[in-house]
Structure 1
C-alpha cells in the first residue's frame, strides 16, 4: 500500500480559511487532511465540512474525537455527515482525549469506552437494530439512525501510544496514530504493540496502518523554523515525553520546561530543548531537513506521515513550502 502524506490542522481559523488551505493542499498532492479535536477549540466538523466542499480527492477526518465529551450516536452522525459531504472520503479518529479534567470529565475505563463507542458507531452506520448491551454504552433493540448514510464502514483510526491502546487498534482499527512524535525508533515499538492485538483477532499486523504526526515548522530559514518548533514542543513535552521508551531525556528537563510553560515563558522553555530531543517530537528546519525526518519514518515502516500545525512561520507559507519543496522530495 502506498505511503500517504497528510496535513494536520488546528480548528482555530475563521470561515473560509480552511477551504483555501484545503484547495492548496490538494493541488500540491497531499493525500489526507486531518483536523485536531483538541479541548476548547472549534468542533472539527466545521472545518472538515468546509474542506469537503472545497476538495474532491483528499481523505478527511478528525484525530481525534473522544467518547467522553461526545456521545457515540453524535459521533456516528458527524462521521456520516462528513462522509456524505465528501462523497465517501471520511475517516473516524477516536482517542481517550487529553486535559478533560479541566471541564470536569473523568476518563474511566478508557479502553472499554473507546472499543464500545466504536461498536455503537458502526452498528448505527450499518443499520443494525439488534441493540448493543455494553458496559459503558448501550443501544436498545430497534434503535437506529433516521437518515441514509453514504457508507457503513468508513475507516477507523485509534489514537494511542501505550501497549493496551495499540493492541486495541490491532484488534479493531484500520490505522493507529501516534501524535506528537517524529521518532523513527518508536515505529517498531508501536508495530510490536499492534501485533499483540492483531494476532488475538486473527488479523495481519500489516492491515493496520501506522500514522506518525507532530508539530511541523518549515522555512528556508531553518534556524527560525527550529526556534518556533521548540516553543511549540515545550507546550506538550510533558504529555509525550514519558510515553516514548526509546528517548532518554536530560535529568530534570521536563520539569524545567513545564515550570516555564506554566509561567507563560514559552520561548524560554523552548530554548531548553536540545536538538536531539526536538527532532524526536517535531518536524522542523529547512525543507530538506523536514523531508529527511519524514523519510526516516517512511523507511521505518509508517503508512502515513502527518505534518501538523503550525506548518511554518505562517500557516499559509508553511503549507505552500511543504507542498512545493518537501512533498517532491518524498515522492521522488
Structure 2
C-alpha cells in the first residue's frame, strides 16, 4: 500500500516546504485540488514549482477539471510537466460541478460530461503524437511516458466510472470506505468489459489533520469553507480523521478493499503535519 500526501491550498507559499518534507518521508505522491472561483493556487503551475523542489515523489492533480480548460493547451501543459518532472506527473481528472467555475470559464455546466469525453479522446491522440486535426499538426513536446502521463479519473456516477476503462489508467475515489467498495467493483467490472489488460490503479482519499487543537480547528475551518457551497460541509468535516488510530484504520480499510494508494489529504496549514503523518505510518 502506497501513501501519498494531499496538500492544503490556504497558504500556497508554504507548499515547497510541504513538498520537501514529503520527499524526505515515506510518501509516494503529492496531490493538489483544482477550482477556478476559489482562493487556491492553480494546480499545474504549482506542481511545476514543486517538481523543481523534489526529485522522487509523484505530482498529482486531485482532480483537475478539464472542461474548464482549452484542450490543446491542456495537452501541451500536461505533457510538458510530465517531461520536465521525469515522468512523475499524474493527471487526475473529473468534470466538476460548481456553477461559478463554469460561469467564470465561459463553459456550459450542463454539457461538462460530454465535453470531457471529447477532451480525453483528444488528449490521448495528442500525447501519442498524432496531429490535432485539419489545419493543425502534432502538439509537442512528447511526454515522458509513451501515450501521455498516467491518467486517473474521478467521479461517482456510472458514466464517470466508465471513463476509467475508456480513457484512463485508474480511478481516484473521494468516497469513504463504506461507499468505496461498490465504486471499486464497478470500475473493475467496466475495465474487464472494455477488454483492458491488467487492472485499474485504485487511489483513495482520506481527509486528515494531526497536531494540537489549533491545527485541527484550522483544518476543519478550511475544509468547511471549501465545501460551504455544497450544503454538505458539516458531513465532510465530520469525516476528517484526526487521530493516529483513526488514520491507520482508514488506510487499513482501503487496503482491504484493494486500493493501491491512499492520499492523506491535509486541509490545515501547518507543514509539521507531514512529519507527524510520516511518524504514524
TM-score by length of 1: 0.73
Residue 75 of structure 1 aligns with which residue?
74
User: Does 1:193 find its partner at 2:200?
Assistant: no
Which secondary structure state, in structure 1, belongs to the residue aligned with residue 67 of structure 2? coil
1:304 and 2:261 aligned: yes
CA contact (8 A) 2:17 2:271 kept: no
Q: Superposed, which structure 2 residues align to 1:113-262 within 5 Å?
A: 113-129=115-131, 131=132, 139-140=133-134, 142-151=136-145, 152-179=147-174, 181=175, 183-203=176-196, 207-219=199-211, 221=212, 231=221, 234-235=224-225, 236=227, 239=230
Q: What secondary structure is seen at the aligned counterpart in 2 of 1:92?
A: strand
Which one has more relative contact order, counting CA pairs under 8 Å at least 6 apart? 2
Question: How far off is 1:46 after superposition?
Answer: 2.2
Q: How many Å apart are 1:60 and its aligned residue?
A: 0.9
Shift of the alpha carbon at 1:62? Answer: 1.3
Are 2:248 and 1:291 aligned? yes
Contact 1:215 1:232 in 2 (8 A): no
Instruction: Determine helix, strand or coil for the equivalent of 1:320.
Output: helix
Q: Extract unaligned runs of 5+ from structure 2.
A: none
Give how far 1:192 is off: 2.4
Query: 2:278 corresponds to which residue?
Result: 323
SS in structure 2 at match of 1:109: helix
Q: Does 2:23 correspond to 1:26?
A: yes
How many residue pairs match? The answer is 274
1:293–1:148 CA distance, 2 compared to 1 (3 A):
closer
Look up the match of 1:66: 65
State the secondary structure of the residue aligned to 2:138. Answer: coil
The alpha-carbon deviation at position 161 of structure 1 amounts to 1.4
Contact 2:51-2:59 within 8 A present in 1 as well = yes
Is the Cα–Cα contact under 8 Å of residues 96 and 107 in structure 1 kept in the other structure? no
CA gap 1:229/1:12 in 2 versus in 1, 3 angstroms: closer
Contact 1:309 / 1:315 at 8 angstroms: preserved in 2?
Answer: no
Q: Residues 225 and 285 of structure 1 are in contact (CA less than 8 Å); yes or no, is this contact kept in structure 2?
A: no
Say if 2:219 and 2:266, in contact at 8 Å, map to a contact too. no
Residue 299 of structure 1 deviates from its aligned partner by 1.7
CA–CA separation in structure 1 for the residues paired with 2:228 and 2:91: 26
For 1:210, what is the secondary structure of its paired residue? strand
Q: Does the CA contact (< 8 Å) of 1:170 and 1:196 recur in 2?
A: no
Is the alpha carbon distance of 1:301 and 1:100 closer, same or farther for their aligned partners in structure 2, counting shifts above 3 Å?
Answer: same
Normalised to the residue count of structure 2, the TM-score between the two structures is 0.85
Superposed CA deviations along residues 281-314 of structure 1, whole A, max 9, x for unmatched, are 33x222232122222111222111111132x5x4
Quick one: structure 1 residues 299 and 237, their matched pair in 2 at CA, closer, same or farther if it must change by over 3 Å?
Answer: farther
Cα distance 1:225–1:290, how it changes in 2: closer, same or farther (>3 A)? farther
Instruction: Say which SS state the counterpart of residue 123 (structure 2) adopts.
Output: helix
Give the SS at the match of 1:108: helix
